[in-house]
C-alpha cells in the first residue's frame, strides 16, 4: 500500500480556523496539503494541478462544494470518487446530494478529525487500487437527514 506522503490533498473552506486545522491534521499524517478559500479559487488550482483527494465545504461564498465538484469533474473526470464534502445546515436539495453521494463522501459538522481521516484514507486506498470510493455519509447528529 502507498504511504500517505505519496498523496496530495486540496482542502477548500472559507473558514480559516477549520481550513487550517484540517490542513495541519493531514500534514501531520504525511499528506501534502494545498488550501483554497472558495470553489472558484479551488477550481483554478485544479485546472493547474491534480489531487488525490479534495475536501470541500458545502456552503462558501463565491461558489460552494457541489459547484466545485461539478466543475472539477468536467475539467478532470479522473477526480470522480475523490471528493469529501463537509457540511452543516443548510443541506443541498435532495437530488443534488443524491447525485453527489453516488460516488463521493459526505461528512456533517461538527467534524471529528479522526472520522475525516478515515474517509480520506479510504479514498487514498481505493485510488491506489484504481477503484471509486464507496459513497458514505458521516455525522452522528444528522446523518439520517442526508439520505
Q: How far apart are the first and last CA of the chain?
A: 32
Cα separations in angstroms, 134 against 37, 41, 122, 125 = 27, 27, 9, 11
Cell representation of residue 14? 472559507
Domains of the chain with CATH codes: 4-140 (3.40.50.2300)
pTM, 2 dp: 0.82
Q: How far apart are CA 40 and CA 24, in angstroms?
A: 23
Contact 34, 61 (CB under 8 A): no
Residue partners of 53: CB distance under 8 A and separation at least 6: 7, 8, 9, 10, 82, 83, 84, 120, 123, 124, 127
Q: pLDDT tens, position by position, for the chain (147 residues)? A: 445 557 899 999 999 999 999 999 999 999 999 999 999 999 999 999 999 999 999 989 889 899 999 999 999 999 999 999 998 766 666 777 777 777 888 888 888 899 898 888 888 887 777 755 455 555 533 333 333
Amino acid at each position: 500500500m502507498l504511504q500517505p506522503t505519496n498523496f496530495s490533498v486540496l482542502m477548500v473552506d472559507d473558514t480559516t480556523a477549520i481550513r487550517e486545522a484540517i490542513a495541519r491534521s493531514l500534514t501531520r499524517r504525511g499528506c501534502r496539503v494545498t488550501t483554497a478559500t472558495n470553489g472558484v479559487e479551488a477550481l483554478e488550482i485544479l485546472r493547474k494541478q491534480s489531487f488525490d483527494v479534495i475536501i470541500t465545504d458545502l456552503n462558501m461564498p463565491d461558489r460552494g462544494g457541489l459547484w466545485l465538484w461539478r466543475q472539477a469533474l468536467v475539467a478532470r473526470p479522473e477526480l470522480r470518487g475523490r471528493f469529501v464534502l463537509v457540511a452543516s445546515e443548510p443541506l443541498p436539495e435532495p437530488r443534488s446530494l443524491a447525485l453527489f453521494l453516488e460516488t463521493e463522501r459526505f461528512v456533517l459538522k461538527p467534524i471529528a478529525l479522526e472520522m475525516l481521516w478515515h474517509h480520506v484514507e479510504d479514498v487514498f486506498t481505493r485510488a491506489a487500487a484504481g477503484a471509486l470510493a464507496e459513497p458514505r455519509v458521516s455525522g452522528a447528529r444528522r446523518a439520517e437527514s442526508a439520505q
